[in-house]
Amino acid sequence: MKEQSTTRGFAILSAASMMVKILSLLYIPFLQKVIGDEGYGIYGASYQVYAFLFVLTNSGIPVAISKLISELIAVKNYKDAIKAFKIARFILLIIGIVMSIVMLVFAGSLANAVHYKKAYLSLLTLSPAILFTSIASAYRGYFQGRGNMTPTAVSQVLEQVVNTIFGLIFAAYLIKYGVEAGCAGGPIGTSIGALVSATFLIFYYEKNKKFRVPKGYSDEEIRRITTKQLIRKIIKYGVPITVCVGMTYAGNIVDVYNTKVRLMAGGVPEIQATILYGFLTKYQQLLNVPIAIISSLSMAILPAISAAAAVKDKKEVTEKISYAFRLCYLIAVPCAVGLAVLSDPVFSMLKFGGGSYIMAYGSVVLVLMSCMQIQTTILQSIGKLYIATLYSVLGIACKIVANYFLISIPSINILGAVGGSIIGFLIPIILNHRIIKKSLGVKLSLIAHAIKPFIASMIMAASVLAVRYIFITLLGFAKMGYLVNSLATIIAILIGMFMYLIGLTVTGGIRGKDLETLPRKVVRLIPSFVLKRIRYR
C-alpha cells in the first residue's frame, strides 16, 4: 500500500468530503418535504443525541490509531504498528457494542431529556449505526496513520450514497404511520450506510494489509513496545481527544434542550420553537460543507505533524503548521463571505425553506470553527492533548451561558445561538494560540494568513453580487422564478470562484505549492497567465 503526500491525501479527502456534504445538502429538501418542518426539527434533535454518543465512541481512538501508527512507522517499528491497530480495533468493537445497547435501551429517556419525546423512534433506528461506525472508524484511523486517505474517502462516499437512498425510501414509506415514524426512516438509511462503509473497509484492509519494508531492513535494533504500553498509549492519546470532542457535542446536546426551552421562555410557542431549531440545524449542516474540507486537512496533516514531532524535526513541524493555517484560511474565508452574501439565493436554490437570515449573520462562525479545528489538531500532534481539551471545555461553558441569556431575548431569539457560538470559539482560539507559540517557540500570527484571502474574498463578493443582479435583471421578464434564481446563483458562484482566484493571484495569496492540493482537471481550467504567475512564487 503506497503512502500519499500530505497534499495529495488532503485533496483526496477534500473531494470525497465535498461529495458527501453535497449529497447531504441535496438530501435535506427531499427529506423535509416528506416529514415537514416540525419533523425536520425532531430529526435534527435526534441526530444531535446520536452525534454525542457517536463521538464518545469514535472520536478519540481512531485519532489515537492514526497518531500512534504514524509515529511507529516513522521509527520503522512496523510490527508494533500492526499490533497497536489490532488492539485499538478490539477496544472500539467493545465500546461500539456497549454504546449501541445503551442507545437502544435508553432511547426513550434520551428523547425525554432533550424535550423531544417524538425523537424516540429515530433514536432506536440510529442505535445500530453506532456499532457499524465504530468498526469503520478503526480502519479509517489505520489507513490515515499509514498515509493512505483513499479508503477513508471511498467509504465516506459509499456511506452517504446508501444513506441518502435508503433514508428517503424508508422515510417516504413510514410517514403514513405519523411524523414520528417518518422521522425514523432517515436514521434507518444512516445505519445501512454505516454497515456498507464498514464492510468495504474490512475488505480493503484484507487486500492491502502488508507493509512494504525498505531493502536491507532489520527489526533487530528496533525497540519493541509491550501490549500494556501500547494500550497505555492508546488511552493517553484517545481519552483527552474523546473528552475534548465529547464536550463540544455535549454542549450541542445542552443547546438542543436549552434552545427550545429558552425560545419558549422568550414567548415562542412550542411548535414554532421546534421549527426554529430546525432552521438552526439546516444552517449548521450548510456550514458543515466547507468544514468537511477543513476536517480533511486536519486528518491529512495530523499524521505528518505527529511523525515530524516523533523524530524531533522542529523545522518540519513548523512548516506543516504554517501550511495548515494558510490552507485553512484560503478555504474558510471565501466560503464564509460567499455564504453570507448569497444566503437567501442559496437557501432558495436548495429549497431549504426559512432560516437564511441565520446564515447571513452566522457565516463568520465558519472561520472560527476552522481555525480552532486546526489548532486542536496541532496540539494533539505535539502532545498537548489535555490542554486542547481544557480550553475546548472552557469555550463550551461560555457558549452555553451566552446562549441561555441571548436566546430568550425576543428580538434576538434563535440568533442568540450564533452569538453563543462566536463567544464559544473565540475564547479557546486565543488560548490555543498562546500555548502553540509557547510550546514551539515560534512566531505565529492568527491574522496574517487571513489578510490576503479576505481581500480576494471582497473582490469575489462584489463580483458575485454584480453578476447576480445583472443576470436577474436581464431575465426578470421570465416567469420561472426558481429556475432564474438557481441559474443566477450557480453562474454567480462560478464567476465568484474565478474572481477569488484572480484576487489571490494579484495579492500573492496563492503559491505554486498550493496547486498540488487541487485535482489536475481543476488546475487545467485555470487560465495559463494565472498559472504562470502562481508557479513563479
Contact status, residue 509 vs residue 452, Cβ threshold 8 Å: yes
Buried b (16+ CB within 10 A) or exposed e, 153-178: bbbbbbbbebbbebbbebbbebbeee
Residue 508: other Cβ atoms inside 10 A: 11
Q: How far apart are CA 527 and CA 519, in angstroms?
A: 15
Summarize the confidence of residues 399-406 as an average pLDDT: 89
pLDDT at 275: 83
For 379, how many CA atoms within 13 A lie in the half-sphere containing its CB?
28
pLDDT band at 38, cuts 50/70/90? confident
For the residues 78-89, what does the mean pLDDT come to? Answer: 82
Question: Which letter does DSSP use for residue 519 in this model?
Answer: -
Greatest alpha-carbon pair distance for the chain in Å reads 79
Let me know: does 282 contact 350? Beta carbons within 8 Å.
no
- Least confident stretch, 149-153, 396-400, 508-512, 527-531: 527-531
Mean pLDDT of the chain: 80
pLDDT of residue 3: 52
Note the pLDDT of residue 310.
Answer: 65
Q: What integer pLDDT is reported at residue 431 of this predicted model?
A: 92
pLDDT value of residue 443: 74
pLDDT of residue 178: 83
Cβ within 8 Å of residue 407, ≥6 positions away: 258, 259, 262, 263, 266, 413, 414, 416, 417, 420
The structural domains of the chain, with segments of one domain joined by +, span 6-212+225-446, 449-535
pLDDT tens, 315-332?
A: 777 777 777 788 888 888
Question: Does position 138 have pLDDT exceeding 90, yes or no?
Answer: no
Q: Quick one: pLDDT at residue 217?
A: 57
Nearest alpha-carbon partner for 352 in 24, 68, 67: 24
pLDDT digits (tens, 9 = 90+) for 267-317: 888 888 888 888 888 888 788 777 777 766 666 666 666 666 666 667 777
- Which pLDDT belongs to residue 478? 60
Q: Inform me whether the pLDDT recorded for 130 exceeds 80.
A: yes
pLDDT digits over 333-374, tens only? 999 999 999 998 888 887 777 888 999 898 999 899 888 888
The answer on pLDDT for 511 being more than 70 is no
